[in-house]
Amino acid sequence: MWRTARLVAAKDLGIEWRSRQVTNQVLPFAGLTLVLFAFALDRDEITARVAPGLFWLATTFSLIVLVQRTFAVETADGALDTLRVAGVDPAGIYLGKALALAAQLVVLEALLLVGVIVFYASHIRPAGIVLVIVTAFLATSGLAFVGTLYGGLAAGAKGRETLLPLLLLPVVAPVLIGATRAFEAAFGTRGGEGIRAGVEISDGWPWVGMLAIFAAVFGAAGVLAFGPLLEEA
Amino acid sequence: MSTTVPNPQSIPGTNASAVSRRWRGITSTGFSRVLGVATLVLVVWLVLFGLLFSPPDQTQQSSVRIMYIHVPTAWVAYLAFGVTGLSSAMYLFRRAHSLAWDRVAGASAEIGVMFMALTLITGSLWGRLTWGVYWAWDARLTTTAFLFVTYVGYLAVRRLGGSHQARAKRSAVLGLLAVIEIPLVHFSVELWRSLHQEASVANPSGDVKMDGLMLFSLFVGLIAFSLLYFWLVLHRQRAMYLEDQYDDADLDVALVERRAETKEHSRA
């Protein structure tokens, strides 16, 4: 299973390395959303305050585009059917595709983080760096697992472009909430007023626990469910 | 990739004569007729008790009457989604992969979505009267909204096309995923914030804080709406069975026509 996963992930990343579709299209799209958020929200103090939320919104939107792309590669020439006929372990395919998706998300998030710091004048508290890294790791795992699972579900179906956001966005809501709250703690935003005046770094860690549960549950569900999903596609 | 050609062999008991013998194109049976009449009687009863006999609330006045619809619709929606999850599991884990379970899951989800919409509408009307706002970002409200959207997505997946078995498997997986998704959503929103009125009947301490007649009206509502749910599911899943039959029959008819055509061609 793990060998298959490694091979599938290497294949996906290899395709991306040659086509540069994500680099040339998805990354600029994510950056563009950050700029558009700034237009919509207008005021500097507001964007600085909601920067963690905008970061994860931009990531979530990009996730949809990335998932479309990762399954467009498989369904275009019936590649998925070929893999199935060749008797490749579906769990391995699932993990491999999730791994490749996670790798792309990590690159995207690193650039978005720079974008948030540059455009929204956010700064990470030195003590919050560990929290940011752990949160990003777990949230990315969760997003990649869910994205691959629902991407596989919608793959090959008519109207999948419009269906995927409808299926995916409600499911990733916990990640959006949890990762945003954890980032707020690490950034030290939301200080001054409101119900959560002056967040501490330690306020972020319960959310990290929730993100871990989310990633574990959907990772397990994906390994189990991907086989039956491929059979019928 | 997907084709709209269903495979008649994969569906047990699908010859046309069996259909006409059993239902003759209508979806009612003696049992469902009795159930329908009982439901109707209870609904009338609920209207009388909810609007006339039960007293207005001390603080909420007559707006409390929304509860007699709001609570039962919410209950039925949760029941319906529970049935969808259960039927999805039955379809997926039973070796027979019976489409009957799939149709029950689908019918139940449709009705659940309808009742969930009613819950959200009645709830926001009540919220406007009592809280002054239509919507509040409370844990239970938000979870309910997500439940609604999730099953709207589920229904969209059911309409994707493909063979009946393909539809059944895809939606069964999704039905089970929804079951694990909802607690996670609820848990995360719960952590985020909470404001909803504490449950007045099913609260942990066990003592009911409600006037007797109001409580009675509420229970009438719960029973009436539960019966309504069963009546609707019965009919809807039978209608779905007929739709599936129709799809298959269409294919058979087309095949016969094509064969007849080729015969004529060869004769000419």
- Which has the higher per-residue pLDDT, B25 or B48? B48
- Most confident residue range from A70-74, A134-138, B43-47: A134-138
The answer to whether A107 touches A26, Cβ cutoff 8 Å, is no
Q: What is the ipTM of this complex?
A: 0.83
pLDDT at A172 over 50: yes
Name every chain B residue with its beta carbon within 8 A of the beta carbon of A210. Answer: 187-188, 191
Residue B136 near chain A (CB below 8 Å): no
Instruction: List pLDDT tens digits, range B211-230.
Output: 778 888 888 889 999 999 99
Query: Which of residues B223 and A80 earns the better pLDDT score?
Result: B223
* Chain segment A101-147, per-residue pLDDT in tens: 999 999 999 999 999 888 887 777 777 888 889 999 999 999 999 99
User: For residues B187 and B172, what is the distance between their CA atoms, to the nearest angstrom?
Assistant: 24
End-to-end Cα, chain A, rounded Å: 21
Split at pLDDT 50, 70, 90, the class of B268 is low
Q: What is the Cα–Cα distance from B18 to A229, expressed in whole angstroms?
A: 32
Q: Is B41 part of the contact surface with chain A (CB cutoff 8 Å)?
A: no
Task: Give just the sign of the alpha carbon dihedral B142, B71, B107, B180.
Answer: positive
b/e A192-201 (16+ beta carbons within 10 angstroms → b): eeeeeeebee
Q: Is it the case that residue B11 has pLDDT exceeding 80?
A: no
Report yes or no: A166 and B152 within 8 Å, Cβ to Cβ: yes
The pLDDT value given to residue B35 = 87
C-alpha R_g of chain A: 18
Q: Name the residue facing B161 among A158, A214, A225 (closest C-beta).
A: A158
Give B-chain residues touching A225 at CB under 8 angstroms. 173, 176-177
Which burial class, exposed, middle or buried, applies to A13 when counting CB atoms under 10 A from its CB (0-12, 13-18, 19+)?
A: middle
Nearest residue of B to residue A213, measured between CA atoms = B184
Instruction: Render B170-220 in DSSP notation, one character per residue.
Output: HHHHHHHHHHHHHHHHHHHHHHH---SPPPSSS-TT----S-HHHHHHHHH
More confident residue, B5 or A39: A39
* Average pLDDT of span A27-46: 87
Distance, CA of B244 to CA of B14 (rounded, Å): 9
What's the pLDDT tens digit per position in B50-105? 787 777 777 777 777 888 889 899 999 999 999 999 999 999 888 888 888 999 99
Smallest Cβ–Cβ distance between B188 and the set A166, A177, A218 belongs to A177
Min Cα–Cα distance to chain B from A181, Å: 9
Contact A217 B170 (CB under 8 A): no
pLDDT at B257: 82
Domains of chain A: which residue ranges? Answer: 2-232
CB B55 within 8 A of CB B213: yes
Query: What pLDDT sits at residue B104?
Result: 93
User: In chain A, whose CA is at the least distance from the CA of B170?
Assistant: A229
What is the separation of C-alpha A225 from the centre of its chain, rounded to a whole number of angstroms?
A: 20
Structure tokens at A206: 């319960």
- With CA atoms as reference, report the closest residue to B111 among B31, B33, B223, B225: B225
Q: Using the predicted structure, report yes or no on whether residue A167 has a pLDDT greater than 80.
A: yes
Whether A158 and B174 lie within 8 Å, measured CB to CB = no
With CA atoms as reference, the chain B residue closest to A79 would be B1
Is residue B228 within 8 A of residue B77, CB to CB? The reply is: no
Partners of B185 on chain A (C-beta within 8 Å) are 170, 173-174
CA angle at residue B187 from B128 to B76, to 5 degrees? Answer: 55
Please give the full DSSP string across chain A, using - where no structure is assigned: -HHHHHHHHHHHHHHHHHH-HIIIIIHHHHHHHHHHHHHHH--HHHHHHHHHHHHHHHHHHHHHHHHHHHHHHHHTTTHHHHHHHTT--HHHHHHHHHHHHHHHHHHHHHHHHHHHHHHH-----GGGHHHHHHHHHHHHHHHHHHHHHHHHHHTT-TTHHHHHHHHHHHHHHHHHHHHHHHHHHHHT-S-SSSTT-S--GGGGHHHHHHHHHHHHHHHHHHHHHHHHHHHH-
CA distances in angstroms from B193 to A54, A180, B53, B65, B77, listed in the order given: 20, 14, 37, 27, 23
Q: Which residue has the higher pLDDT, A152 or B7?
A: A152
Q: Of A166, A190, A224, which to mutate for an interface test with B (greatest number of B Cβ within 10 Å)?
A: A166
Residue of B nearest to A178 (CA): B188
pLDDT band at A90 (very low <50, low <70, confident <90, very high): confident
Among B165, B184, B192, select the one facing A217 at the smallest CB separation.
Answer: B184
Per the listing, tokens 């703690």 go with A185
Mark yes or no for CB contact A207/B191 under 8 Å. yes
